[in-house]
Amino acid sequence: MTKVKTNTKKYKLDAKEQFLIETGISDYNGIKPRMTKKFKQIGRFTEILADKLAQSGATNQKRVKVIDIGAGKGYMTFAIYNYLAKHNLDPVIHAVDFNSDLMKLGNETANKCGFENLSFISDFADQYSGLTYYDAVVSLHACDTATDDALFMGLKMKSKVILCAPCCQKEVLLSLKEKKSLSKFIKHGLFLHKMADIITDNSRVMLLQSQGYHVDIIDFVATEHTQKNTLIAATKKRGKQPAFYETYKSYKSEISFDGIKLEQMMLDEGLLS
Ligand SMILES: C[S@@+](CC[C@H](N)C(=O)[O-])C[C@H]1O[C@@H](n2cnc3c(N)ncnc32)[C@H](O)[C@@H]1O
């Protein structure tokens, strides 16, 4: 795992793109001030995805398929579709979120923009049954274990690229809160949250590595645009690397937490033994 700066050429997103206007990020005067942070996030995320897709060879294909988990209003989904379409990569993008109203709105907006291979699907991430093969799995701030669901999809399909910016990692936080020994030393809830975030995401990195993924951890935007600015960027490089799972198990016992949903899903699927 390395912390890197990507060297992508700047991807200049034009504020007058129809999808930005339709989704309410901009109007004919430009980016709405209250949407500047989201605009920065989706621009930078798309830029990094473009870089990773190119490195993985996916951009040599005639068509690139992407799935977006916890898509919400689809700001990022539209940005990725727009980018791939403009680069003649004939995109197919499926966006999944359990919020059916937002998925309906997303489909209406996709129609208005003429994004014919973009579909918004109302479902829970861990119940989505339309999984075939996607070159990339992405998620931007999918809540709590929905990020594990996204990572698992990518691992199960052996996607070329998995890009997830996690959010509100509650699962490990709950087990840390139960540890009386820890509360003697950590009095501030904020520290416990930060610790849970790091343990969760570090576990995710090791589990990705166990399946032969190279993982970069990137501060993808400045914290003024979001505090949740960690991006897990994984690219499939080789076959399974069981030693990383052994390291994860030692980590779990050393830190003494119960493990994360991703591990359980991988065990159930037979990806780990
Ligand atoms: C913080 S919003 C992020 C939305 C969008 N990706 C963005 O960055 O603008 C998180 C979204 O994840 C969805 N979500 C959370 N858990 C989910 C799950 N288990 N399955 C499907 N969607 C989920 C929520 O409905 C919400 O729309």
pLDDT band at 10 (very low <50, low <70, confident <90, very high): low
Q: Say yes or no: CB of residue 146 within 6 Å of ligand 1.
A: yes
Closest CA to ligand 1's atom 14 = 70
Task: Return the pLDDT at 49.
Answer: 97
Residue given tokens 């001030």 in the structure block:
33
Across the chain, what does the average pLDDT equal? 92
Q: Which atom of ligand 1 is nearest to the CA of 167?
A: 1
- Please say whether the beta carbons of 70 and 64 come within 8 A: no
Q: Which of 87, 40, 49, 88 is nearest to 68 (CA)?
A: 49
Is the C-beta atom of 76 inside 6 A of ligand 1?
Answer: yes
DSSP assignment, residue 8? P
Q: What's the start-to-end Cα distance of the chain, in Å? A: 22
Mean pLDDT calculated for residue range 33-59:
95
- Indicate if ligand 1 lies below 6 Å from the C-beta of 97: yes
pLDDT at 3 exceeding the cut of 50:
no
**Domain spans, the chain:** 2-267
Using a 6 Å cutoff on CB, does residue 72 contact ligand 1?
Answer: yes
Mean pLDDT of 205-221: 96
Provide the residue count of the chain.
273
Kindly state if the Cβ of 150 falls inside 6 Å of ligand 1: no
CA of 155 to the centre of ligand 1 (A): 20
Ligand 1 site, residue 120, Cβ cutoff 6 A: no
Sorted by sequence, the CB contacts under 8 Å of residue 154 that are 6+ apart come out as 134, 136, 137, 161, 162, 234
Atom 12 of ligand 1, nearest CA residue: 70
Distance, CA of 113 to CA of 20 (rounded, Å): 10
Smallest CA separation from ligand 1 atom 1, residue: 141
Closest atom of ligand 1 relative to the 71 alpha carbon:
6
| Count of beta carbons in the 10 Å neighbourhood of residue 254 | 8
List of long-range contacts for 84-90, beta carbons under 8 Å, 24+ apart: 85/115, 87/50, 87/59, 89/59, 89/61, 89/62, 89/63, 89/64, 90/62, 90/63, 90/64, 90/117
pLDDT tens digit sequence for 236-273: 999 999 999 999 999 999 988 889 999 999 999 999 98
Q: Identify the pLDDT of residue 11.
A: 66
What's residue 183's pLDDT?
80
Pocket test for ligand 1, best of 40, 93, 101, 141 (most atoms within 8 A of CB): 141
Q: Is 42 in the pocket of ligand 1 (CB under 6 A)?
A: no
Dihedral over Cα of 2, 5, 8, 14: its sign? positive
The residues pairing with 116 across neighbouring beta strands, listed in sequence order, are none
The pLDDT of residue 17 is 93
pLDDT at 14: 87
| Interval 72-92: pLDDT, tens | 999 999 999 999 999 999 999
**Confidence band of 9 (pLDDT split at 50, 70, 90):** low
pLDDT of residue 114: 97
pLDDT at residue 180, rounded to an integer? 78
> What CA–CA distance (Å, rounded) separates 45 from 165?
9
7/269 Cα distance (integer angstroms): 36
Q: Does residue 140 have its Cβ closer than 6 Å to ligand 1?
A: yes
pLDDT tens digits for range 123-149 = 999 999 988 999 999 999 998 999 999
Between CA 62 and CA 67 the distance in angstroms is: 17
User: Rounded to whole angstroms, how far apart are CA atoms 250 and 30?
Assistant: 51
Q: pLDDT digits over 25-37, tens only?
A: 999 899 999 999 9
For residue 12, pLDDT over 50 is answered with yes
Burial tier of 241 (Cβ tally within 10 Å: 0-12, 13-18, 19+): middle
Q: Take atom 13 of ligand 1 and give the residue whose Cα is closest.
A: 70
Q: Are 19 and 85 in contact (CB under 8 A)?
A: no
Measure 114 CA to ligand 1 centroid, in angstroms.
24
Upper half-sphere CA count for residue 192 (Cβ side, 13 Å): 20
Check whether domain 2-267 has CATH 3.40.50.2300, yes or no: no
Tell whether ligand 1 has an atom less than 6 A from the beta carbon of residue 71. Answer: yes
122 — phi, psi (to 5°)?
-85, 110
Provide mean pLDDT across the span 186-194.
90
- Number of Cβ within 10 Å of residue 177's Cβ equals 14
143: CA distance to ligand 1 center in Å? 6
Instruction: Tell whether the model's pLDDT for residue 5 goes beyond 60.
Output: no
